[in-house]
Chains A and B, each alone.
Chain A
Amino acid sequence: MAPAVFNEMYDGGKVRPPYRQLEDWTADMPAALRSLKQKEAEALFRRIGITFAVYGEGGDPDRLIPFDMFPRVFTAAEWTRLERGIKQRARALNAFLMDVYGRGEIVRAGRIPGRLVYRNEAYEKAVAGFVPPRGVYSHIVGIDLVRTGPDEFFVLEDNCRTPSGVSYMLENREIMMRMFPALFQENRIAPVDSYPDLLRRTLTSVAPAKCDRDPTIAILTPGHFNSAYYEHSFLADLMGVELVEGQDLFVEGGLVYMRTTQGPQRVDVIYRRIDDAFLDPLCFRPDSALGVPGLMDAYRSGGVTICSAPGAGVADDKAIYTYVPEMIRFYLGEAPILQNVPTWQCGRDEDLGHVLDNLPELVVKEVHGSGGYGMLVGPKSTREQIAAFADRIKANPSNYIAQPTLALSTVPTFVDEGVAPRHVDLRPYCLVGERVELVPGGLTRVALTEGSLVVNSSQGGGVKDTWVLAE
């Protein structure tokens, strides 16, 4: 039985309030104008240079992520609740990181199994015992949300390392404002363009103690062959900071410097967009040419702040995810505002029975698997596949978790035949520094294929502008 799908615009035949203006807007738009606007949007994206460069795969090296002009809309009340939930989660995740790199109270209290934390690949021994400025480990927390009803939001995944996509949030809005200024006059839409300033302020607020002047910030990129290079240079430009590669930096006397035309210049805060393993060849992968030798020593001795902290990924692991509501209760003493997707741990006897009885409706994942490998999607599997998978679960139950197949909400989307509902998710970007900040909006990803639940840009997903209506 397929669960009912929540359409964010139409409640039965009635238009839900936040989408009222958009009904007339689509009704009044002739097909010819629509396709003209769509072309204009594409030209703008190309012109600005927002492409998703994929090297070594042949074809166009400068691919565009499809942009759908139909916005996704939240009311102020809806957003207020989301915002509280997202900030709450970002605070708890950071409290967890400070704890597991310190005394590990949550483990000692028996609330999270120690092995899940300390055996985790993402747990970074080199960071243990170190408290970064303001106790913040994850400075940009991307929280992936799905919606299944008017008030039902679920967190699908937390991203504590270096969540990407914020440039689309900003550019989607710019392009919509340029193409449809009237829409923005008729609707009072909360602006998102303060994000770069807030990010800069956040990074400035976590400068190391050794920095006794206005901190110098740099974004560390793997280089122009990286698919997200555009975003790196875009953010550097909007914040007015340097975009550096590992080779542009060096460590001396426990401090980090940029190589400039006027000699060495101190860098105090590094917003890195490269993975832990590549940060410092002395500490991690010795073959990494992307990193900065000695960076970890400088970091540990307080000469520079790295955002996010190496090892922050231990908080966004699939196995840890289940425990985030527990973290919120443990560290904040609050009830979680946003729910996790219900998850059954096959390692628990009481859960295992339920999972085995309901496999056709469930999604089953390996605890440490990724990229969709070792996964069973019940509704899309044959009886034979399900039976075979059941045997695998029984052989090693604790290696599996199970979740219900969620009915992701839909938002009207422009398709060849006109307008049709398509499934969406949402990634807001929460900033954590001296303060916890969230701009009213995020990146809405949309599965452009009818019925598809896959919103990833690598698999035919597109993006939408995300509106939060002012009170």
Chain B
Amino acid sequence: MILTVEHVTTYLYDAPVRGVVQSHRLTPSVFEGQRVLDWRIAVPGAVAGDGFRDGAGDWVQGCSLRGPVTEVTVAVTGQVETMDLAGVLRGHREIVPPDAYLRDTPATDPDAALSDLGQMAVAGARDPLDAAHRLSAAVADAIAYRPGATHAHTTAAEALAKGEGVCQDHAQALIAAARSTGRPARYVSGYLFASGDGTPHEAAHAWAELHVPGLGWVGFDPANRCCPDERYIRLGSGFDARDAAPIRGTARGGADERLEVALAIQSVQQ
């Protein structure tokens, strides 16, 4: 499948700030499931740093703007050819070992309910892959998709207690449950092409990857009860949503920040 992406993020400050610094993880991962045909990131007025590939295999690029600044636009446009690998992250080069993803963060710290959910899900599993599928299904059952029920700082435990949330909550709950059963797990950010088949979810998407012995990292998207396929574009990973954020930034000066996002993913007719 060939997908085109147009993703414009605009930061608006209610008073001029003295400068803005950002770190971008906005470039598609390199693995057998996707191939970049064209990709551009434009931040008008910004000075770019030298990009580099980090230990998790993500392409990271810094940029900064001198003040006074009242508006920053990050415009991503590109085209990616994707293939369905049933969620397996084949051919992805990275140095950070899976064990590093056993560490809890405040957002993914498992409480008793998450640990119970994890233990019950893996009980009776035929093999590690089956266990991973069961974990993902259990999270999908426990947390109903409901936009607006949670916010950016909702933890996995809070989302489970609430019983509803969005893809970020699903992914973090799955990570917490998986880690509590001793399975390395991580958060993945990317894009999803909603094909018009009624899939309700956000185009700026997130899911989880669990490390399965023998297969390596395998993606699971509890929000859509599936593994990432050719409708998904993978950007980068981290311990949790904050750690995997495609754009991290900070402004110098005490202004209030407002965010506007415009995103369109389309498939190119072949």
Q: A1: shortest Cβ distance to chain B, in Å?
A: 43
The 7 closest A-B pairs by CB, nearest first: A128-B55, A254-B49, A297-B62, A129-B55, A118-B99, A301-B50, A129-B95
Q: A282-B248, A298-B62 are in contact. Are A252 and B47 (CB under 8 A)?
A: yes
A293 within 8 Å of B (CB atoms): yes
Q: A128-B54, A129-B54, A282-B250 are in contact. Are A297 and B97 (CB under 8 A)?
A: no
Q: Nearest residue in A to B98 (C-beta to C-beta)?
A: A118
Q: A118-B97, A118-B99 are in contact. Are A283 and B23 (CB under 8 A)?
A: yes
Digit string of B84-117 for contact with A (CB within 8 Å is 1, else 0)? 0000000000111101101100000000000000
B52 within 8 Å of A (CB atoms): yes
Instruction: Tell me, in angstroms, the Cα distance from A107 to B97 when the chains sit together.
Output: 11
A102 within 8 Å of B (CB atoms): yes
Please state if A253 and B49 are interface contacts (CB–CB under 8 Å).
Answer: yes
Digit string of B43-62 for contact with A (CB within 8 Å is 1, else 0)? 00001111111111000111
| Chain B positions within 8 Å of A47 at CB level | none
Instruction: Tell me, in angstroms, the Cα distance from A281 to B102 when the chains sit together.
Output: 23
Q: B216: shortest Cβ distance to chain A, in Å?
A: 16
Digit string of A116-128 for contact with B (CB within 8 Å is 1, else 0)? 0111010101111
Q: Nearest residue in B to A128 (C-beta to C-beta)?
A: B55
| Chain A positions within 8 Å of B99 at CB level | 114-115, 117-119
Looking at B48, B62, B66, B95, the one whose CB has the most chain A CB atoms below 10 A away is B62
Please state if A125 and B62 are interface contacts (CB–CB under 8 Å).
Answer: no
Instruction: Tell me, in angstroms, the Cα distance from A172 to B220 when the chains sit together.
Output: 61
Instruction: Tell me, in angstroms, the Cα distance from A281 to B185 when the chains sit together.
Output: 24
Please state if B21 and A114 are interface contacts (CB–CB under 8 Å).
Answer: no
B35 within 8 Å of A (CB atoms): no
A10 within 8 Å of B (CB atoms): no
Q: A38: shortest Cβ distance to chain B, in Å?
A: 50
Instruction: Tell me, in angstroms, the Cα distance from A281 to B22 when the chains sit together.
Output: 11
| Chain B positions within 8 Å of A123 at CB level | 100
Please state if B21 and A300 are interface contacts (CB–CB under 8 Å).
Answer: no
Digit string of A99-139 for contact with B (CB within 8 Å is 1, else 0)? 00111100100000011011101010111111000000000
Question: Which residue of B50, B55, B62, B249 contacts A130 across the interface (Cβ within 8 Å)?
Answer: B55
Question: Which residue of B62, B94, B252 contacts A301 across the interface (Cβ within 8 Å)?
Answer: B62
Digit string of A230-251 for contact with B (CB within 8 Å is 1, else 0)? 0000000000000000000011
Please state if A250 and B52 are interface contacts (CB–CB under 8 Å).
Answer: no
Question: Which residue of B49, B66, B97, B100 contacts A294 across the interface (Cβ within 8 Å)?
Answer: B49
Instruction: Tell me, in angstroms, the Cα distance from A204 to B68 when the chains sit together.
Output: 35
Digit string of A251-286 for contact with B (CB within 8 Å is 1, else 0)? 111110000000000000000000000000111001
Q: A69: shortest Cβ distance to chain B, in Å?
A: 48
With A252-B66, A253-B49, A302-B50 known, 17 other A-B pairs at CB within 8 A are A104-B97, A114-B99, A118-B100, A121-B103, A128-B100, A250-B21, A251-B49, A254-B50, A281-B250, A282-B248, A282-B250, A293-B21, A293-B252, A294-B21, A294-B23, A298-B62, A300-B52
Interchain Cβ contacts under 8 Å between A and B, 11 examples: A117-B99, A119-B103, A125-B239, A126-B55, A251-B21, A251-B49, A252-B64, A253-B49, A253-B64, A293-B21, A301-B49
A: residues with CB less than 8 A from B are 101-104, 107, 114-115, 117-119, 121, 123, 125-130, 250-255, 281-283, 286, 293-294, 296-298, 300-303
| Chain A positions within 8 Å of B96 at CB level | 118, 125, 128-129
Q: Nearest residue in B to A255 (C-beta to C-beta)?
A: B49
Instruction: Tell me, in angstroms, the Cα distance from A255 to B21 when the chains sit together.
Output: 12
Please state if A119 and B102 are interface contacts (CB–CB under 8 Å).
Answer: yes
| Chain B positions within 8 Å of A126 at CB level | 54-55
Instruction: Tell me, in angstroms, the Cα distance from A128 to B23 when the chains sit together.
Output: 17
Q: Nearest residue in A to B96 (C-beta to C-beta)?
A: A128
Instruction: Tell me, in angstroms, the Cα distance from A303 to B48 when the chains sit together.
Output: 13
Please state if B49 and A297 are interface contacts (CB–CB under 8 Å).
Answer: yes
Instruction: Tell me, in angstroms, the Cα distance from A107 to B95 when the chains sit together.
Output: 13
Digit string of B234-270 for contact with A (CB within 8 Å is 1, else 0)? 0000010010000011101000000000000000000
| Chain B positions within 8 Å of A282 at CB level | 21-23, 248-250
Question: Which residue of B19, B60, B94, B100 contacts A297 across the interface (Cβ within 8 Å)?
Answer: B60
Instruction: Tell me, in angstroms, the Cα distance from A294 to B247 when the chains sit together.
Output: 12
Instruction: Tell me, in angstroms, the Cα distance from A294 to B64 when the chains sit together.
Output: 9
Please state if A102 and B95 are interface contacts (CB–CB under 8 Å).
Answer: yes
| Chain B positions within 8 Å of A283 at CB level | 23, 248
Please state if B97 and A114 are interface contacts (CB–CB under 8 Å).
Answer: yes
Instruction: Tell me, in angstroms, the Cα distance from A128 to B239 when the chains sit together.
Output: 14
Q: A132: shortest Cβ distance to chain B, in Å?
A: 13
Q: A89: shortest Cβ distance to chain B, in Å?
A: 25
| Chain A positions within 8 Å of B250 at CB level | 281-282, 286, 293
Q: A231: shortest Cβ distance to chain B, in Å?
A: 29
Question: Which residue of B47, B54, B64, B95 contacts A300 across the interface (Cβ within 8 Å)?
Answer: B54
Q: B97: shortest Cβ distance to chain A, in Å?
A: 5
Instruction: Tell me, in angstroms, the Cα distance from A305 to B19 when the chains sit together.
Output: 23
Instruction: Tell me, in angstroms, the Cα distance from A302 to B53 when the chains sit together.
Output: 12
